[in-house]
Structure 1
Amino acid sequence: MELEISESISLQALTQFHAKELLETVNTSRDDLSVYMPWTDTLTDMAGARSYINARKKGKLYGSQWFAIYYDGAFSGVFGIKYIDPVTKVSELGYWLSTAVRGHRIINQVLNVILPYLSSSTTVDTVEFHCLESNEASIRVVERAGAKLVKYVGNNMDIPNKDQRLGIYALKL
């Protein structure tokens, strides 16, 4: 499945086909990604890239969908609908981008397509984003989309600065 977001941005369903590009992209952005993403320590070779993809594709969470992000034809990151809770009607969205493509409002453009899809094609009425309090770029992205800080929770991720809190941002659709 491919979803055209704009002339320069597209999403492809994440598959093992993306493992090599995923690894190459993580390698070029590892220093930046490792500050916020605990999985960078295990994604160091092709086996790690395949495992990363399998963990997302084989997850048993209802409504989960994962996409490779392409910007100007190059693999540039991953976007995920992590789950859809059919009872609470909440979905968590997550993403990461390579260092090279940040600043082009790629995720906001993706959200301009994904949020209406979730609203019209699923039971979701609220989306959540989980952002570490020091991740100012991600916070700006989700606030630009209209999400508001609901609460802070403890952070149990294995990353530098483990003492920072995780902000839960919510957006009613």
Structure 2
Amino acid sequence: MFKHIVDNDIELRLVDIHHAGEMFKSIDSNREHLGKYLPWVDSTETVEDTISFIKNSKKKYAANDGFDASIWYKGEFAGVIGFHGINPSIKEISIGYWLDENYVGKGIMTKACIEFINYAFTIYNLNRVVIRCAEDNLKSRAIPERLGFTKEGIIRDGELLKDGYVNCVIYGMLRKEWNRGY
């Protein structure tokens, strides 16, 4: 099983069915927090739904088209970070993430993103990493801004959430601009 130590407190692990219960429990207890910006939260109704996500993630990993990792903080499940499919024609990938509300504000996701960005540029040998955030999700937007991503624009009505469409801000980082960790 893929396991990557980020620091003394943070560990990334390839999502695994053995942790589906912990993942679902986090989603279920954070519905309001996560559902504000993530359209899949309401349709994740059972542990079996989480298992389906994990199985799809494993297929993506096997096809070398990205992967999802669970984030562990001091031995506790804290969230998920993942690569969305690789666009081979322009050597681009996007990163998506979510964090249990109990772990927000500890720098966990910023550190996890650094590891994923390094992976995208060094292991996948890609040229571009994209992070897309709801325009009013300031905590999520703070991560690419903190990491020096360029705000490239806004997609109007870029995502449909339970309360309607929201604009999405697109952030991009080019390999030649990235100067952290490699």
Alignment deviations for residues 102-145 of structure 1 (CA, whole Å, 9 cap, x no partner) = 00111111123222232222221110001010110011111101
Aligned to 2:158: 155
Q: Where in structure 2 are the equivalents of 1:23-34 lying within 5 Å? A: 23-34=24-35
Identity score, percent: 24
Give the alignment of 1:43-54 within 5 angstroms: 43-54=44-55
1:59 Cα deviation (Å)?
4.0
The superposition leaves residues 9-63 of structure 1 with CA deviations (integer Å, 9 ceiling, x where unpaired) of 0011112112100111112211100000111112121122212223333348753
- 2-structure distance, mates of 1:132, 1:112: 20
Out of 86, 98, 101, the residue aligned to residue 100 of structure 2 is 98
Superposition deviation, residue 64 in structure 1: 1.2
CA contact (8 A) 1:69 1:77 kept: yes
Query: Which has the higher mean CA deviation after the structures are superposed, 61-70 or 15-24?
Result: 61-70
* AA matched with 1:7: N
Q: What is the TM-score when the length of structure 2 is the normalising length?
A: 0.87
Closer/same/farther in 2, CA of residues 59 and 113 from structure 1, 3 Å limit: closer
**Structure 2 segments unaligned to the other structure (5+ residues):** 176-182
Which deviates more, 90-99 or 41-50?
41-50
Deviation per residue, 1:66-107 (Å, 9 max, x gap) = 101101101111110112222201110111000000001111
Aligned residues: 172
Match of 2:180 in 1: none
SS at match of 1:137: helix
What's the counterpart of residue 40 of structure 2? 39
Deviates more, 1:135-144 or 1:145-154: 145-154
**d(CA) in 1 for partners of 2:88 and 2:116?**
18
- Preserved contact between residue 62 and residue 85 of structure 1 (Cα < 8 Å): no
SS of residue paired to 1:129: strand
Residue 178 of structure 2: aligned partner: none
In the alignment, what sits opposite 1:11?
12
Q: Which deviates the most, 50-59 or 144-153? A: 50-59
Task: For 1:51 and 1:4, locate their aligned partners in 2 and report how far apart those are by CA, in whole Å.
Answer: 26
Q: In structure 2, the residue corresponding to 1:79 is in which secondary structure?
A: strand
Letter of the aligned partner of 2:129 in structure 1? V
Q: Distance in 1 between matches of 2:60 and 2:43?
A: 18
RMSD of aligned residue pairs (Cα, Å): 1.7
Q: What letter matches 2:10 in structure 1?
A: I
**What letter matches 2:160 in structure 1?**
M
Q: State the partner residue of 2:69.
A: 67
